[in-house]
Chain A
Amino acid sequence: MNVLGPLWLSVQLALVTTLVLFVLGTPIAWWLSQTTSRWKPVAQTIVAMPIVLPPTVLGFYLLILLGPHGAIGSWWVQLTGNALTFSFTGLVIASCVYSLPFAVQPMQNAFEALPRQTLEFAWLQGATKLDAFFSVAAPMSVRGFIAAAVLGFAHTLGEFGVVLMVGGNIPGETRVVSIAIYDEVETLNYGAAHQMSLLLLGFAFVVLLAMFLVNRRWSAR
């Protein structure tokens, strides 16, 4: 229980985050792939920021923003009566920001690789832009979606610094597996740390291997 609890929480967090990223990231990726706006480099930079920023920097700003006196946090307190910091919901929001580029970039790459004329043909065949996206662009970008899901999921699973800053270490609420491992090592409880680390190691290997195998099968067709 001591081992599986944090792991299960991590998986839950990664699943919810991946789902949210699909909904939010797809339109962002589509816009970035299609736009000729001069603001595109700026937007791309903002999306890519979490890749280069230390998680502590990101976590620090998110802590301020999501805190009971922060812009988003105070609004959330008014709305629900609860604070966002040190809560699962707060972790989801932080994880979405943190993992955004890992979901957006594979999707954007896939959308940019779509032949322009194939989309134009879909429109000329009577499809609205939305219809053409779902009937042509999305099915042709399946590999991009798979990569986005795997990377978003895995990256969220592996996050540490941001969670520590925003979520703290509340069992069942914010004590995800990476925090739990750190905790066990701190208290010199290497046995539990080993168990969780090995599970995570194996899990990461299996997930990534599965993605590469799927990709290889798709490209072989």
Chain B
Amino acid sequence: MSTVSSLVPRLIPLQHTTEQGSFSLDIDVAIPAKGVTGLFGESGSGKTTLLRCIAGLEAGSDTDTRAPHERGIGYVFQEPQLFPHMDVRANIEYGLKRAGKARLETDAVVKMLGLGALLSRKPGDLSGGEAQRVAIAAVLLRSPELILMDEPLASLDQRRKDELLPYLDRLHDELSVPIIYVSHSIDEVCRLCDHLILIEEGRVVADGELHAMLARLDIPMLAGRNAGTVINATPERHDSDYDLTLFRFSGGELLVPGKYDSTIPNMRLRIAASDVSICRTRPQKTTILNVLPADIDEIQPTGSSTDLVRLAIGDDFLVAQVTRRSVTNLDLRKGDHVFAQVKSVTVRR
């Protein structure tokens, strides 16, 4: 089945312009027809407006004249919009009945989202996280061509978020339907997305594959607290004496606190730029567990006190946030061999 067309990734074009008072949206971008695309930007940047345009809920210059019910779009709102007079089963089957086709079985979706015990409840008796799971199940059973998620975790407290996130992981892993996931949390994006669109004041600032985007130093939105990369690594063995797991990635090994299942390949490790420092020589007698030989790939002068330095390790990249003074003192230059000290690694999935 390896035809030429299957090798070229299919793209979904998104072209939308609209004016709302002083705010204008002008988007022309394409997203992969598979996987999760993160739509990342501050509140007021036009993320929700873009989703509403895609869904046909917003007046604007839209070449698509179909009414919302004809578009095959699944929309997960920030606040789950369930029908209060129907029980959970009727809610999740509402779209299924109207879709005329079923790509997924009700039972499979109920199981996937853990709704078995909730089916005869009314939406008023559900917690925020449960209601959001019901809304997601309803959207999945509608067999949409594209799913839009507008900060589905934003209205939940941290505990409910942690409860719902594994279900979103499963959507990512088990579904072939493309998802656009709106967020202003870089952590959620790093965990759930494969592709990233950055949006500011109604315009696309940059877009591309997640790992590559995070390794870019020239995007102000990805500087500061958001700076850092994601590398894929596979847990190899657990050291029970110290409760550390050894992960292997293209550039070597990383020790991460906690125990991780070695049967899951390609877990995502998030390394924030503020947790990476650079040494000219291999540091001796340090408390930092992870010291990796690396090459300086690029230095982005910011003009302020801190610079961003991209380090190439194997096929992966780390970004280090270091003071401009250190860059001068150590005379760091592109192509130099250095050692990266990684203070903290977060397992994102």
Contact = CB atoms under 8 A, between A and B. Distances in A.
Interface stretch (A66-74, A126-134, A182-190): A126-134
A140 interface: yes
Interface stretch (A41-49, A91-99, A113-121): A113-121
A85 to B, nearest CB: 44
B55 A124 contact: yes
Contacts of A129: 67
Interface in A128-146: 128-129, 131, 135-136, 139-140
Report which residue of A115, A123, A124, A221 has the largest number of chain B beta carbons within 10 angstroms of its beta carbon: A124
Nearest to B135: A121
A118 B75 CA distance: 11
A2 interface: no
Interface residues of A, number: 19
B95 A126 contact: yes
A125 interface: yes
Contact of B98 (A115, A131, A139, A140): A131
A125 B79 contact: no
A75 B3 CA distance: 73
Interface string B194-205: 000000000000
Contacts of B99: 126
Contacts of A121: 75, 77, 81, 135
B99 to A, nearest CB: 5
B296 interface: no
Report which residue of B68, B84, B135 has the largest number of chain A beta carbons within 10 angstroms of its beta carbon: B68
Interface in B134-159: 135, 138-139, 142
A83 interface: no
B69 interface: yes
Nearest to B90: A135
Given A125-B95, A125-B138, A136-B83, 14 more contacts: A118-B81, A120-B75, A121-B81, A121-B135, A123-B67, A124-B55, A124-B75, A125-B69, A125-B142, A126-B69, A126-B99, A126-B142, A127-B98, A128-B69
25 contacts: A117-B79, A120-B75, A121-B75, A121-B77, A122-B83, A124-B55, A124-B71, A124-B73, A124-B75, A124-B142, A125-B69, A125-B95, A125-B98, A125-B142, A127-B94, A128-B67, A128-B69, A129-B67, A131-B98, A135-B83, A136-B83, A139-B83, A140-B83, A140-B84, A221-B124
